[in-house]
Amino acid sequence: MSHLETWIAIVGMAVVTVFTRALFLMAGERVSVPDRLQRALRYAPAAALAAIIVPEFMTWQGHFTISPMNAKLMAGIAATVFYLFTRRMVGMIVVGMAVYTALRLLT
């Protein structure tokens, strides 16, 4: 890919991004989003986060694996369980990192 093609791609992506975001601002109150769609959009951040994090937990040393030898998966499970019982975000991070570090040192 040449430099010109790279710059064309960057400018094109910028234009599309600005247009799609500005469309909602320019439309203002003239366009209303149905209640059903508004309720569905509440789950978009959680779905996007899960789509990013879950594949990372399911791989270990470059391979897909669901086993107790997968330190990332075990740390994620431990952190999730801690959070479900305590609802403390900082504690969840500490527990997850502690379990991950301990498992990495043991293997």
**Residue 1 counted as domain residue:** yes
Domain that holds residue 27: 1-32
Instruction: Let me know whether 12 and 55 are in one domain.
Output: no
pLDDT, tens digit (0-9, with 9 covering 90-100), for 34-68: 899 889 989 999 999 899 998 989 988 888 888 88
> Per the structure, how many domains does the chain have?
2
Give pLDDT, residue 15. Answer: 95
Instruction: Let me know whether 13 and 50 are in one domain.
Output: no
Give pLDDT, residue 31. Answer: 77
Say how far apart CA 62 and CA 56 lie, in whole Å.
Answer: 10
**Residue 17 counted as domain residue:** yes
β-strand partners of 64: 59
Say how far apart CA 49 and CA 43 lie, in whole Å.
Answer: 10
**Residue 37 counted as domain residue:** no
